[in-house]
Amino acid sequence: MVNSRETLDLTSFAAPAGSVVDWQISDSPVDYAAATALMEARAAAIAAQEAPELVWLLEHPPVYTSGTSGKPEDLRDPRFPLVPTGRGGQVTYHGPGQRVAYVMLDLKRRRPDVRAYVAALEEMIIRTLDAFNVRGERREDRVGVWVRRPDKGDGFEDKIAAIGVRLKRWVTFHGIAINVEPDLSHFQAIVPCGVTDPRYGVTSLVDLGLPVTMADVDVALRQAFEGVFGATSAALAETG
């Protein structure tokens, strides 16, 4: 079933006139706890109007994270650390080959609607995938973006991108993760996002047969972000 978020009006998420969003890329894996601390500090500065909004692109070393709906039994094999986190959602995996985009926006200045914001993130992912001729879709009972897999059987679908957000004082942080070329076997150690139906798995752009690089995805992601949320600044210096 297609998610009813398809019908939401997303045009009002554009930035206020004259403002742009900082765009930052880290070229080396960033520890998850360190990234969370930096996000929280930046979100507080944005809420206080002491810093511009930010999109931060990065990869993490292999780690499992558990959101506010996570269950201990969703970790089947503790091959990597499990880190509790305040984002929404359940247990997921982050690691090399996955493009994580942490999105820090002031919804009070844009549109204070969490449901519509999640739909806007989905739209950003769908547009990014479309740049590679991949059709990403929303689902009524499953957050994230999915691709149909008729090659695996009738009704089979794989998740290609995850979403988990948190807000403080109407400033967003955490964000999305698009599977570019991660080791998909690492997802076998968890119940990804609590989905147990065997028809629903996990895939990546490379798994779908697309020789896509992280740089390719970054270009498409930025274009998609600007189409939904508005202008970004010149990329900030990459951080290690």
**What are the residue numbers of the active site?**
193
Q: Report phi then psi at 138, rounded to 5.
A: -85, 160
Q: Cα separation of 21 and 81, whole Å? A: 32
Residue 140 neighbours by CB distance under 10 Å: 10
Positive or negative, the CA dihedral 86, 69, 103, 216 is: positive
CA gyration radius for the chain?
17
- The token duo for 61 is 């070393």
Q: Cα separation of 5 and 123, whole Å? A: 10
Residue 37 neighbours by CB distance under 10 Å: 11
Q: Report phi then psi at 127, rounded to 5.
A: -70, -35
Exposure string for 190-227, b = 16+ CB within 10 A, e = fewer: bbbbbbeeeebbbbbbbbbeeebebeebbebbbebbbe
Q: Report phi then psi at 50, rounded to 5.
A: -105, -5
